[in-house]
Structures are given as structure tokens and as C-alpha cells.
Amino acid sequence: MRIGIANESPQEIAAFRQLLERSGHQIAWVAVGGQEAVMRCARDRPDLVLLELHMSTMNGITTTGRIMRESPCPILITTAALDSSFAEVFEALGAGALDVAHAPVPGCAEIKNSPAAFLTKLERLARLLRPAAAEPGLANYTPKPTLRQATPLVVIGCSAGGPAAVATVLGGLPPEFPAGIIVVQHLDEQFASGLATWLNQRSRLPVRVAREGDRPTPGLVQLANATDHLVLLNEDTLGYQVNPRGMAYRPSIDVFYESVVRHWPGQVLGVLLTGMGHDGAAGLKALRDAGHHTLVQDQASCAVYGMPKAAASLNAAAEILPLERIAPRLRQRLQQPQP
């Protein structure tokens, strides 16, 4: 990949440069500070920007927002102080950053800060950013309608820009919301509990990480919490599975949606929000083909119009709505009698 580096630390810039060159990546440019990064992206968009979260001239949150508005390209937020910066991380992800990683520390024995862990993250992002291709496990799938009387379920998939979009949707739902809500956000396991805490401050519904054996519950938001895929194991039980291994992103929205079509016996409302790539589009189409109602965030309100665009191109969306209209539409659909 051609990678841009935006950082104010000469030591960190040198470490990134050495690591990237040694691993075969090409350095497109180096920007000292957020303002220069915005200018560099406007002149030469790389495949990925490594953007330091904490910068004095323009922080990573503001820089991310500017880049995604003016010259959209994939952004990986990096910082050595990640464990104490969860609130800022989710703000940056909400502004459109694709992912976040611990800045690698040469010779570090701690796995999360190791160069090897950072390079693994880059390889996963490279796979995600390749042109869309059929994902394993979905190509030969034939959905079967299973609309029977049961608790309604809302399933939400999102990636870049997702935290802020999910917060908007949840903020528009009442405490007595009659459906269970499952959210699959592209995010490493180490950040899931922090995201749940962050969303709890913005939602009238309680938000929890989903654990093995949990059940979807009316009025409760459950968040995917692993690098394995969250799935419905049967008609009322959540769990995690390793396969399919070849998915570009883990947890996969497609894999979860497919399991919902296979197992959930009642009404499902499928929602696909802002995100880069195409994960969730095929799964949302399976939901619609099975007779469930599907909603997709529109281009104007998306931080990144990738996953919703892919869903629209597959005719997976029964409705394409501005973000602020999704929560009211969910409430309205749940008040309508089901066939």
C-alpha cells in the first residue's frame, strides 16, 4: 500500500518509516501535523493514512473530519496512549476513521504495542480495501423466510463513522423500545467494552457487550465483542465462531446477518450504516430476500458511503434514509402489524 504518515514526533515518524519500508509498503508522504495532512491528502491521496490521535496543531479527531469531508481516504488512528484515550478514539471513528491501533514500539515485549501486531493490522486493512469480491460462506446461500410470532429484533451493522451514527440512532429510541438490538461494529475486541460505555452515555437504552450464550432481549443493545464472528447459534442464543476464516473483517456483518436469516423466528429490521468497503451488503440482501425490512443510511449523512452504497447497488435496501430518520422509522415499523 501507499501510506501517508501524519505525526508530530520525529521518533515515531522514523519508527513508522522503518517499519513500513521493511515490510514492503510505500511511503506516499509525511505530514508534520494535522493541517499539513489535510493539504497532503488533497494533493495526493494515499491508500491509507496513519494519523496520530494527539497532535498540537490539529488533533486527530478534527483532522479526520477535515480529510473525510475534503479528500476522503482510509484513516488508521494511531497513538501510544491508546488505553487512556477511548473517548477520543470513538470520536475519531465517528468522524470517519476506519480503525485504530496502538503505535508500535520497537523491541516492545507487550503484544499490543509490538511491530508484528501493527503489521497484522495493516494486512487486515489491505484486504478490506481491495476491490469487492464474494465473501466465503455467502455465495451459495439461499435464504428461507421464517416470519413467526416472536420478539422483534433490530440488527445494525457499521464501520468507519459507525460510533457516532449508532449513537444517533440509539439516542432516538425510547427506553421502552420493544425490540432487541444487536450492533456489529468493525472494531477490535480490546475496544468493545469502551465503546459500550461511550454509547451508554448517549443512549436511553442500556448497552452491553454480547457474550457467549447471551440472548437478544427487548430494550437491550448488545454489541459484538470479539475478533471472531458474532452469530445466532439457534433461535435465541448468541455466540462466537471462528469460521469463515477468510473474511476481510472480523467480526463480519455479513456472517451475523446470515445467521439471523437462518435462525431468528420473528420480525427483523436490518440496518446498514456508514462504513468503508462492502461488508453487510450481501447479508442485508439476504435479510430482504427472506421478507424482512431493511434500511440503509443515505449518502449525504454518511461519514463514508461505502457499505451503504454496496447495499444499494445490490437492491438490498427497502428504504434509504438520512441518519436522523432511521430511529423514527424503526419505531414506526414496530408499531405496524406484521403479516
Residue 108 inside a domain? The answer is: yes
Residue 310 inside a domain? The answer is: yes
The verdict on 175 and 38 lying in the same domain is no
- pLDDT classification of 303: cutoffs 50, 70, 90: very high
Mean of per-residue pLDDT scores for the chain: 88
| CATH of residue 229 | 3.40.50.180
Rounded-to-integer distance, Cα 29 and Cα 42, Å: 12
The verdict on 204 and 277 lying in the same domain is yes
The verdict on 99 and 215 lying in the same domain is no
- pLDDT classification of 305: cutoffs 50, 70, 90: very high
Rounded-to-integer distance, Cα 160 and Cα 64, Å: 11
The verdict on 186 and 319 lying in the same domain is yes
- The whole-model pTM stands at 0.86
Q: Is a pLDDT exceeding 50 seen at residue 147?
A: no
The verdict on 307 and 268 lying in the same domain is yes
Cα–Cα distances in angstroms (integers) from residue 259 to residues 42, 45, 182, in the given order = 41, 37, 12
| CATH of residue 105 | 3.40.50.2300
Residue 81 inside a domain? The answer is: yes
Residue range 69-118, pLDDT digits in tens: 999 999 999 988 777 788 899 999 999 999 898 888 665 555 556 788 88
Residue 137 inside a domain? The answer is: no
pLDDT at 317: 96
- Domain stops at, among 129, 162, 178: 129
- Domain stops at, among 97, 129, 161: 129
Q: Is a pLDDT exceeding 50 seen at residue 134?
A: no
> Is 51 in contact with 97 (CB distance < 8 Å)?
yes
Residue 134 inside a domain? The answer is: no
- pLDDT classification of 155: cutoffs 50, 70, 90: very high
Q: Is a pLDDT exceeding 90 seen at residue 45?
A: yes
The verdict on 168 and 93 lying in the same domain is no
> Is 166 in contact with 272 (CB distance < 8 Å)?
no
* Active centre residues (catalytic): 159, 186, 279
Total domains, the chain: 2
The verdict on 100 and 195 lying in the same domain is no
The verdict on 101 and 172 lying in the same domain is no
Mean pLDDT of 235-246: 89
> Among 60, 122, 45, 54, which residue's Cα sits nearest to residue 97?
60
> Among 101, 272, 88, which residue's Cα sits nearest to residue 198?
88
Residue 145 inside a domain? The answer is: no
Q: Is a pLDDT exceeding 80 seen at residue 255?
A: yes
Residue 144 inside a domain? The answer is: no
pLDDT at 141: 47
The verdict on 118 and 189 lying in the same domain is no
The verdict on 198 and 281 lying in the same domain is yes
State the residue range of the domain holding 117.
Answer: 2-129
The verdict on 101 and 208 lying in the same domain is no
The verdict on 23 and 166 lying in the same domain is no
Q: Is a pLDDT exceeding 50 seen at residue 146?
A: no
pLDDT at 132: 54
Of the listed ranges 23-32, 64-73, 78-87, 197-206, the one predicted with least confidence:
78-87
Residue 30 inside a domain? The answer is: yes
Rounded-to-integer distance, Cα 306 and Cα 283, Å: 15
- Domain stops at, among 74, 97, 129: 129
pLDDT at 325: 98
